[in-house]
Amino acid sequence: MPQLRTGFTNIQKLDPSIIVDLRYATTNNFTKQVIYDFTTAIARTGTAEKLALASKELKDQGYRIKVWDAYRPIKAQEKLFEVYPDPTFVAKPNPNFSHQKGVTFDLTLCDLNGNELTMPTPFDDFSEKAYRSSHRSPEVEINYQILHTAMQNAGFIGYENEWWDYRDSDMDNYEPAAADPNDYKI
Ligand SMILES: C[C@@H](N)C(=O)N[C@H](C)C(=O)O
């Protein structure tokens, strides 16, 4: 197994062109509450480096990534699960899983001006329309495949029930770790 890069890194330090809009730092999320006391997106360094690879591939094609969520502290996961306790769409709190150990991103595709492209659903649309197996219109299919191909090429696996959720293919090799994203501001 290659050496994992297990520290945390601010994703915009690796690539400032990545747009960050952490929805749980605002009221514009399914809870309608501000859940985070930070607006900085961090991830495990190896995972952040993979995102930078995907971003480069997309920029070369005329697109940018917008990140809606990255590392998510366990306390935040507890609040999200309290509001929507359905593991299909919100994972049970577990420090050894996904966002809670900094190996997952919720994201979408934008043009170079930062305008979001049409995707299967809005963020956190907790319906079957968000499933990767759902029918997509031709326009949405093109946008979805552009994002999906770049993320797969960079080493991510898409969560089957949420088109926006990409997990590092090495996620199971990372031990749990916690961090304060405010310590990683640039
Ligand atoms: C809540 C949603 N954005 C999400 O991240 N869902 C997955 C399943 C998770 O909670 O890890």
* Spatial distance between the Cα atoms of 172 and 174, rounded to a whole number of angstroms: 6
124 CA closest ligand 1 atom index: 3
State in Å: Cα 60 to ligand 1 middle: 29
How many domains does the structure of the chain reveal?
Answer: 1
pTM more than 0.90:
yes
Say if 70 falls within a structural domain.
yes
Name the residue range of residue 24's domain.
8-183
Six-digit token pair at 64?
């940018």
Say if 41 falls within a structural domain.
yes
Rg over alpha carbons for the chain, rounded to the nearest Å, is: 15
Say if 149 falls within a structural domain.
yes
Task: Name the residue with the closest Cα to ligand 1, atom 4.
Answer: 90
Q: Are 74 and 176 contacting, i.e. CB atoms less than 8 angstroms apart?
A: no
Say if 67 falls within a structural domain.
yes
Six-digit token pair at 57?
């591939």
Say if 28 falls within a structural domain.
yes
How remote is the C-alpha of 19 from its chain's centroid?
A: 12
Say if 125 falls within a structural domain.
yes
Q: What is the CATH number of the domain that holds 43?
A: 3.30.1380.10
Cross-strand pairs, 160: none
Q: Mark whether 162 is an active-site residue.
A: yes
pLDDT by residue for the chain (186 residues), tens digit each?
A: 456 899 999 999 999 999 999 999 999 999 999 999 999 999 999 999 999 999 999 999 999 999 999 999 999 999 999 999 999 999 999 999 999 999 999 999 999 999 999 999 999 999 999 999 999 999 999 999 999 999 999 999 999 999 999 999 999 999 999 999 999 999
Residue tagged 């997309």 (tokens): 58
Task: Name the residue with the closest Cα to ligand 1, atom 3.
Answer: 124
